């Protein structure tokens, strides 16, 4: 048996980032309580289905970007409400929802530019949470630079003829 895990992913993929974070954390991410575990899975699914899809529309669909940007901010505000006064979605420690959501922070410059957003002013509590997450080494080492991700999507949009 191998003592090492090799993770094959594409650097801007939020799914690969999640795995790198989870492997670095080496701790249970889901709560032990069944009700809280179900809630965490619900919000992680919300991130996968709503945040990811709206972000894709902002990045790649010129005609739908404005409406998607509006819905994207509404989704982040809903997540801000869910976060409440907690340090992390998992409470005092990093949890499943945090790991599912934080990779998208690296895409925010692209979302802001292509969707004409200012997430810092529209969702300050969310940004404070993201910056708190980035203080954790497992996250800061797993998330690519926002400028690098933005340049990647500028190139993708150019290749798709969206400018």
Local structure of residue 92 (DSSP, 8 states): S
Task: Show Cβ contacts of residue 119 under 8 Å, excluding neighbours closer than 6 positions.
Answer: 73, 76, 108, 111, 112, 126, 127
pLDDT confidence of residue 7:
84
| Contacts of residue 161, Cβ cutoff 8 Å, sequence gap at least 6 | none
In-domain check, residue 8: no
In a domain, 122, yes or no: yes
pLDDT score for 3: 79
Residue 51 is predicted with a pLDDT of 97
Give the model's pLDDT for residue 97: 98
Q: Is residue 4 part of a domain?
A: no
Specify the pLDDT at position 100.
Answer: 98
What is the reported pLDDT for 68? Answer: 94
Assigned domain for 2 exists: no
Q: Are 62 and 45 in contact (CB under 8 A)?
A: no
137 within some domain:
yes
Which residues have C-beta within 8 Å of that of residue 28, sequence separation ≥ 6?
none
Distance CA(157)–CA(151), nearest Å, equals 10
Supply the CATH number for residue 140's domain.
Answer: 1.20.1050.10
* Residue 109 lies inside a defined structural domain of this protein: yes
Check: pTM over 0.85? Answer yes or no.
Answer: yes
Q: Range of 154's domain?
A: 14-160
List the structure tokens of 83.
Answer: 């976060």
> pLDDT per position in the chain (163 positions), as tens?
567 878 888 999 999 999 999 999 999 999 999 999 999 999 999 999 999 999 999 988 877 888 999 999 999 999 999 999 999 998 999 999 999 999 999 999 999 999 999 999 999 999 999 999 999 999 999 999 999 999 999 999 899 888 7
CA atoms of 97 and 104, how far apart (whole Å): 12
Catalogue the E-assigned strands of the chain: none
Indicate the number of domains in the chain. Answer: 1
Answer whether residue 148 is part of any domain: yes
């Amino acid at each position: 048996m191998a003592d090492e895990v090799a993770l094959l992913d594409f650097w801007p993929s939020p799914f690969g980032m999640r795995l790198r974070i989870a492997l670095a954390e080496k701790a249970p991410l889901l709560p032990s309580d069944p009700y809280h575990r179900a809630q965490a899975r619900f919000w992680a699914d919300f991130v996968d289905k709503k945040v990811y899809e709206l972000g894709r529309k902002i990045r790649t669909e010129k005609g739908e970007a404005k409406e998607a940007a509006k819905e994207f901010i509404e989704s982040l505000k809903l997540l801000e409400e869910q976060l409440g006064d907690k340090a992390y979605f998992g409470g005092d420690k990093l949890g499943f929802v945090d790991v599912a959501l934080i990779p998208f922070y690296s895409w925010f410059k692209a979302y802001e530019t292509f969707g004409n957003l200012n997430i810092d002013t529209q969702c300050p509590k969310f940004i404070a949470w993201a910056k708190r997450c980035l203080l954790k080494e497992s996250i800061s080492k797993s998330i690519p630079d926002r400028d690098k991700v933005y340049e990647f999507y500028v190139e993708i949009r150019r290749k798709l003829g969206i400018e």
